[in-house]
Structure 1
């Protein structure tokens, strides 16, 4: 269960469920030349398949199904319990922002993963059926350091690097990304969680580099920028989905792989996550692959959960964007503001997405899950007849910003925003909290009890909030 000497896993990935049971993929990471044993289930023994080799490591996958009511699986002599009944009462967790931009590899492990350890203990008390990860599962920003082509990324990009130099850069980046994924996936505070709770993940900018898609396009479209994106995508598929390019048509809504948004259905629930990074550039959030998938999506079940790596319901950030761009010293925040749905550059797309979510809302209640801002908050949109909830849980390991920042943002949010006529957005405090934004590390749990959903935020200092009804 430790990254020491190149060992990590098993790490479960949710593939779906049907009449045969819960379909899973488990990846294990071993040093090259070391092969994990078979997975043992009630249905038999499943041999591992080699997915890929990266930075002296081999990544293996077991694909298997657990029948409803089956207690779990065994691997290398160890039993791993799994929740296999997904009808009736079930429990999910949602996390985001697992790291920091600077020095993440050097942080004290117990401090860094304190909230992971709390979530793991929470799971031991009341087992989770699914772990939803809403973006920035790693902070890869410093992976570009130490190579001449990217030492000054993104401030400076070489004009015409040679093919051999780009190949050398790819190897350097692969090693840096693999090191960060191994640190996360094998951490003592969460390794058992990953082995027993299947994950579904969507990526955000730090899974590539800070501000990917909102940076100047002569950076992201350069040979160096495209090499960085190619490595980040390969590592994202491998470590966050247990997949390679060959698996893309089966796992994602766009079979061409232009956009890595996904959809999964459980009894009574539709889960979907648009990919807000693969097709992003400064003047758009998604391209044809993403929009075709979202507009064709017809949810089923009694509740829809949408994972938006960037909050869909937010304050009037376009106003803040205008103010900051008028102040030369503040213009370095442009990329951060352009990342948001509310940016001047994306408002038409924002309304388009809100319209699609309201279309789905006519079928069933919709709850948006989001991260990205390193704070916890919630929002509502619209009149009661079409009420939309957004729950933001951000900062499972990223340290919270100062309280003064949260208070100032809360005052700004009081201005309100109505991107669609008749559907005002209101930023609200968490249950039991006085202020709109909570500046504490946090994660979210979602419980379905007797057919009705409720949410609880778990705050590092304040503890769990009272439950919020979502139906």
Structure 2
């Protein structure tokens, strides 16, 4: 599918913000260019007409902003259909977490039912017991091939023209914008995801493949080249439109920096805080977060929050001792191409001080609130979990669910990581990190496509993974 869509895509729901007992939502629609606007949304007392958000050559993107009460189940109507939304955030509820919705090579050419098999499972799970929110933890699209097919970017990042003209860069921007559009339109028109996205509001955090593989871990000369900056700008605009239903100057109140210098955000629901710092916008080879990200996280750490905190870290916060692997990779020429992948991780030697700084911040948050904090991550195309002992009977749980559409790596890789994890890791003295098996499993890493279910019941929060071959795991209390 390339730019020419033939029918309306949507509604795709996004949670803009929570404010007391109200849920502020956006519904996104994509129509062929020149078509009339999508029909209005029908709510209990009024109608909301979608307004134009932005245009592409062959399509227009529309958005309708509306509110639902957040203390009861609601619904809205559109185009003759009624959509039920599990919008009661006050008591028992379920959240879904997914990441890595695609693959680096040939993702647009995959057969739909194979590609979206886990989305179909998630849809069936929602029908059985509805989800209030869908958390998307990074790599919502795989944009690695968007640079192909244009003279300026064909060889990027390995080679880049030193001084392209303004006209050539404007042409590149147009090319990239439409290649990003193709990917988002293809994803949102997949029937399995589309059915869910019309009924479950999404909250999204981007990662490298939403820009390009390893964004921020590449060399400065690549990232800050005219081509690199044009790519980032097109990726960021696409992310705002298709992952947050917004554009610059119009960011919803949940964003920490309304100027958009970074795209970190936070949500407060009764007894639940969800934090999603931006680990890409300010990233360099030496830093994962920049001044904006640290300002956001330190402000959150200083603020009292009641109940459970979910920290979305697009790359896992707790992991094995990757420095061992980095040393091996530098020594083996064939492995050097994976160096950027390792540099992408908190555990990389390049980020060790910053990693400690964030772990101390998380420890302090747990200590002064007396509340539990769970870190959830994607990125690694495997399912796993980890525990960091915080002392006084408290611990930081980390849950990794990765690869809702990305096929699993070889089982040998999972075994190798498991062996590496047996070495243990303690970046903060007295707070050891241990990689633990999922409920009912013996291996530390599971190489199957998966997503995560987070549930709040009478006894607090628990988690289960749905694994493609093994099915749903037992419940892990958090």
Give the structure-2-normalised TM-score: 0.96
Give the CA deviation at 1:318. Answer: 1.5
Q: Runs (4+) of structure 1 moved beyond 6 Å?
A: none
> Structure 1 pair 70/323, CA: closer, same or farther in 2 (3 Å)?
closer
Native 8 Å contact 1:368 1:391 kept in 2: yes
Native 8 Å contact 1:20 1:65 kept in 2: no
Give the match for residue 26 of structure 1. Answer: 27
Give the match for residue 266 of structure 2. Answer: 263
In the aligned structure 1, how far is the partner of 2:219 from the partner of 2:87?
46
Give the CA deviation at 1:225. Answer: 0.3
Where in structure 1 are there 5+ consecutive unaligned residues?
Answer: none
Native 8 Å contact 1:16 1:266 kept in 2: no
Q: Map Cα deviations across residues 375-407 of structure 1 (whole Å, 9 max, x no partner).
A: 000000014623000000000000000111100
Give the match for residue 377 of structure 1. Answer: 384
Give the match for residue 367 of structure 1. Answer: 374
Q: Which of 282, 285, 306 is the matching residue for 1:282?
A: 285
In the aligned structure 2, how far is the partner of 1:64 from the partner of 1:217?
42
Give the match for residue 434 of structure 2. Answer: 426
In the aligned structure 2, how far is the partner of 1:299 from the partner of 1:438?
36
In the aligned structure 1, how far is the partner of 2:59 from the partner of 2:259?
28
Q: Which of 374, 390, 397 is the matching residue for 1:389?
A: 397
Does residue 345 of the first structure (1) align with residue 347 of the second (2)? Answer: no
Give the match for residue 16 of structure 1. Answer: 17
Give the CA deviation at 1:158. Answer: 0.5
Give the match for residue 239 of structure 1. Answer: 242
- How many residue pairs get aligned? The number is 468
Native 8 Å contact 1:55 1:178 kept in 2: no
Q: 311-320 vs 243-252, which deviates more?
A: 243-252
Native 8 Å contact 1:145 1:151 kept in 2: yes
Give the match for residue 53 of structure 2. Answer: 51
Alignment of 1:106-121 (within 5 A): 106-121=109-124
In the aligned structure 1, how far is the partner of 2:77 from the partner of 2:378?
33
In the aligned structure 1, how far is the partner of 2:328 from the partner of 2:21?
56
Give the match for residue 461 of structure 2. Answer: 453
Does residue 332 of the first structure (1) align with residue 334 of the second (2)? Answer: no
Q: Map Cα deviations across residues 125-155 of structure 1 (whole Å, 9 max, x no partner).
A: 1000000000000000001110011111111
In the aligned structure 2, how far is the partner of 1:69 from the partner of 1:328?
58
Native 8 Å contact 1:358 1:386 kept in 2: no
Does the residue aligned with 2:192 lie in a helix, a strand or coil? coil
Q: 74-83 vs 457-466, which deviates more?
A: 74-83
Give the CA deviation at 1:17. Answer: 2.8
Does residue 148 of the first structure (1) align with residue 151 of the second (2)? Answer: yes
Q: 18-27 vs 216-225, which deviates more?
A: 18-27
Q: 249-258 vs 116-125, which deviates more?
A: 249-258
Does the residue aligned with 1:248 lie in a helix, a strand or coil? coil
Native 8 Å contact 2:17 2:254 kept in 1: no
Give the match for residue 75 of structure 1. Answer: 78
In the aligned structure 1, how far is the partner of 2:139 from the partner of 2:392?
33
Give the match for residue 475 of structure 2. Answer: 467
In the aligned structure 2, how far is the partner of 1:329 from the partner of 1:106?
29
In the aligned structure 2, how far is the partner of 1:43 from the partner of 1:283?
53
Q: Which of 302, 310, 313 is the matching residue for 1:308?
A: 313
Give the CA deviation at 1:164. Answer: 0.7
Give the CA deviation at 1:274. Answer: 0.7
In the aligned structure 2, how far is the partner of 1:6 from the partner of 1:230?
28
In the aligned structure 1, how far is the partner of 2:17 from the partner of 2:91?
17
Q: Map Cα deviations across residues 301-337 of structure 1 (whole Å, 9 max, x no partner).
A: 2100000000000000022112211222211111001
In the aligned structure 2, how far is the partner of 1:318 from the partner of 1:269?
35
Where in structure 2 are there 5+ consecutive unaligned residues?
Answer: none
In the aligned structure 2, how far is the partner of 1:397 from the partner of 1:334?
24
In the aligned structure 2, how far is the partner of 1:417 from the partner of 1:392?
17
Does the residue aligned with 2:63 lie in a helix, a strand or coil? strand
Q: Map Cα deviations across residues 266-302 of structure 1 (whole Å, 9 max, x no partner).
A: 1110000110000001011111111011001125221
Give the CA deviation at 1:6. Answer: 5.1
In the aligned structure 2, how far is the partner of 1:463 from the partner of 1:129?
22
Does the residue aligned with 2:55 lie in a helix, a strand or coil? strand
Q: Map Cα deviations across residues 153-203 of structure 1 (whole Å, 9 max, x no partner).
A: 111000010111111111111111001001111101111100000000000
Give the structure-1-normalised TM-score: 0.97
